[in-house]
Structure 1
Amino acid sequence: MIKKAVLIVVLLTVHLTPVFSQNREPVLRQDVPLDSIRLSDPFILADKNTSTYYMTGTGGMLWKSKDLKKWTGPFKVTRTDPGSWMGPNPMIWAAELHQYKDKYYYFATFTNRAVKIDTVGENIIERRASHVLVSDQPEGPYVPMKDPTYLPADKPTLDGTLWVEKDGKPYMVYCYEWLQNLNGTIEKIELKPDLSGSVGEGKLLFRASESPWSRENGGTGPNKVTDGPYLFRTGTGRLAMLWTSWIGDVYTQGIAYSKSGTLDGPWLHEKEPITPPNFGHGMLFRTLNGNWLMSLHSHKSTNGRTHRVPHLFEVDFSGDKLVVGKPYLP
């Protein structure tokens, strides 16, 4: 299974590196339907200040819409430092936009393929980490802040997201990648009040193997992948986390709930996935009309090529749990 997983990672990297690169000059398109956009890990910010939806994800580009129906983009919005650990042309995965206090923050995974930090079995580990950029407006440009690193340089981390605890302290919740530890984790690290750097060290929240639903091919054991954490509170105040893994070769969205109501858990995993098969990396946003939706991407392989397209689902979490409804068609 490890050999197969490594082969998948290599093939995806070779075929999709141009898509992930921020230096690819985008060709602007207008009035594009959502299901005509090729995008992994879609994250949507509904910005009341501009009455506009902003969508980003893997690739480091930005799409804009006034109604969720027609989108304009992609726009290049990041300005990373070529002299930093990221190098001159980092790959960008799973970008998120968060409005926090009076600024906008860009949480994303950056990979410098020219730097190798470790080799574990057949896994060659590249320099990869979650990082945060900042802008005064949702359209960017997003630029680096004070700290050159947020997470350890000798660990591959990804899919960082923002969460603010009830005491007002901000945290990055992220994945420590299975390629190195062979049992992916989701962890937290405290951030400075202005999100310009991290405080202390990361702390384990749970491991991939703790999930009752994610399994390797044949169901012989737990899957090793943790992907795409996103946090929210239900209507009753219960802390919940969306996260994604695999059931065999099926990309799958699950959910866990914190027994303590804080990031420290313990985290109780639902026994079954919450969306149809081959959907994942979900997040929730409130539309400008006040309705809650889930944004995530479909994952379909055809003739050896993987197609990932953003989708929206209706959701209800007014009670104690998240209930995913029918697909939303704007």
Structure 2
Amino acid sequence: MNKSTLALALTLASSLLAPSSQAQTLLSKNFSADPSPHYFKGKYYVYATDDQNNSGNKWDSTSWRLLTSSDLKQWEDKGPFLPATVFKWAAAGANAWAPEAMEYKGKYYFFAPVNQTQIGLAVSDSPDGPFVDALGKPLVDKARDANAGDEPIDPAVFMDADKRIYMYFGTRVPKVVELAPDMRGTVGPIRDVAVSGFPAASKPYGEAPFLHQHKGVYYFSFSTGWPGQIVYATGKSPLGPFSYKGVLIDYLKISTNHHAILEQDGKTLLFYHDNMLPGGGSHKRSILVQEIRYDADGNMLR
């Protein structure tokens, strides 16, 4: 099967199985999860957890995976492009969980949770790598930093219009910390993110925080747990507080729900993972993308 035929087959298959009214595209025939999507140098990049090479029984991958595309339809799976061993301070066999990336002042930064207790920062001159440890120590460390929470994992980075950069992370209680302008550390304390107005039937925050802005409104979205829905709340500041608005992705038939949103060329693109490939499941996930829209009141629609 050639690449064009495979891409069409994957797109059609995912559309038939979709719980949404919008067409979906499956990014790879290999297992990957926890997407971090970006548009760098005229190309789409998705940094991901490498489910293809885990045991299938745990989230025990030790590398991160990279997927790229020029048109959101044809995707190249570049495989495991970065091992957790890039961080020499990390414990031997450290797990490589949901990553994040950003371009800043001509450099490409890679935010990487390891050991379930630390977030590392790597840097490169190219979005493809090679990446090297930027600090020689963790950016966030549960044992070192006050209010780092139960698990400093799932980093998501947002740059506001004033160029201040915020990193969101954590399980059970969402956290946010400002990053230094030189990307050499953090500024000020780690804060809790306040979200109010949960419906009585809804679970509270669980993991996988994400922030994006649309028409001046800050959208804070996250998973409600294990299993969980992806829900979202809105606010007037990247620091919150945020008010609950609704569900973006309902419960899946796997134990995690993790997403990210990329606004590019007038489109809002939702990336997330699900069980879409033969042999898949809670530890062998697959990444999809679809376009979403907003109604007149700013509600997100799939």
Q: Which of residues 184, 189, 200 is equivalent to 1:196?
A: 184
Supply the RMSD in Å over aligned alpha carbons.
3.1
Secondary structure in 2 matching 1:148: coil
Identify the residue that residue 263 of structure 1 maps to in structure 2.
Answer: 238
2:38 equivalent to 1:45: yes
Q: Which of residues 266, 274, 291 is equivalent to 2:248?
A: 274
Deviating 4+ runs (over 6 angstroms) = 300-304
Q: What's the TM-score once normalised by structure 2's chain length?
A: 0.73
Which has more strand, going by share of residues?
A: 1
Q: Decide whether aligned partners of structure 1 residues 137 and 319 sit closer, same or farther in structure 2, where only a CA change above 3 A counts.
A: farther
2:172 equivalent to 1:161: no
Q: Which of residues 282, 289, 294 is equivalent to 2:270?
A: 294
Mapping for residues 214-293 of structure 1, pairs under 5 Å: 215=202, 222=203, 226-235=206-215, 237-246=216-225, 250-258=227-235, 261-270=236-245, 272-278=246-252, 280-287=257-264, 290-293=266-269
Q: Decide whether aligned partners of structure 1 residues 57 and 68 sit closer, same or farther in structure 2, where only a CA change above 3 A counts.
A: same
Q: Is the Cα–Cα contact under 8 Å of residues 238 and 320 in structure 1 kept in the other structure? A: no
Identify the residue that residue 99 of structure 1 maps to in structure 2.
Answer: 103
Secondary structure in 2 matching 1:188: strand
Partners of 1:201 and 1:252 in 2: CA distance: 29
Identify the residue that residue 11 of structure 2 maps to in structure 1.
Answer: none
Mapping for residues 75-94 of structure 1, pairs under 5 Å: 75-78=80-83, 80-81=85-86, 83-84=88-89, 86-94=90-98
Letter in 2 for 1:274: L
Structure scoring higher RCO (CA < 8 A, sep ≥ 6) equals 2
Partners of 1:211 and 1:301 in 2: CA distance: 33
CA displacement, residues 196-233 of structure 1 (integer Å, 9 cap, x when unaligned):
211232011137x9743775xxxxxx45x522111111
Letter in 1 for 2:142: A
Letter in 1 for 2:218: L
Partners of 2:250 and 2:176 in 1: CA distance: 28
What is the Cα deviation at residue 69 of structure 1?
2.5
Q: Is the Cα–Cα contact under 8 Å of residues 84 and 94 in structure 2 kept in the other structure? A: no
Gaps of 5+ in 1: 1-29, 112-126, 178-183, 216-221, 326-330
Letter in 2 for 1:106: F
How many residues of Structure 1 are paired with residues of Structure 2 in the alignment? Answer: 257
Partners of 1:54 and 1:290 in 2: CA distance: 18
Q: What's the TM-score once normalised by structure 1's chain length?
A: 0.68
CA displacement, residues 161-202 of structure 1 (integer Å, 9 cap, x when unaligned):
112234332121111x3xxxxxx1111111111222112320
CA displacement, residues 66-88 of structure 1 (integer Å, 9 cap, x when unaligned):
2222322214135744531x124
Gaps of 5+ in 2: 8-26, 51-63, 144-148
CA displacement, residues 43-75 of structure 1 (integer Å, 9 cap, x when unaligned):
22222x2x3221111131112222222322214
Letter in 2 for 1:96: E
What is the Cα deviation at residue 322 of structure 1?
4.1
CA displacement, residues 240-285 of structure 1 (integer Å, 9 cap, x when unaligned):
1111124xx6431100111xx1133221012x31224328322122
Q: Decide whether aligned partners of structure 1 residues 35 and 174 sit closer, same or farther in structure 2, where only a CA change above 3 A counts.
A: same
Q: Is the Cα–Cα contact under 8 Å of residues 234 and 322 in structure 1 kept in the other structure? A: no
Q: Is the Cα–Cα contact under 8 Å of residues 45 and 66 in structure 2 kept in the other structure? A: yes
Partners of 1:79 and 1:35 in 2: CA distance: 22
What is the Cα deviation at residue 90 of structure 1?
2.1
Partners of 2:87 and 2:217 in 1: CA distance: 42
Q: Is the Cα–Cα contact under 8 Å of residues 87 and 120 in structure 2 kept in the other structure? A: no
Q: Decide whether aligned partners of structure 1 residues 165 and 87 sit closer, same or farther in structure 2, where only a CA change above 3 A counts.
A: same
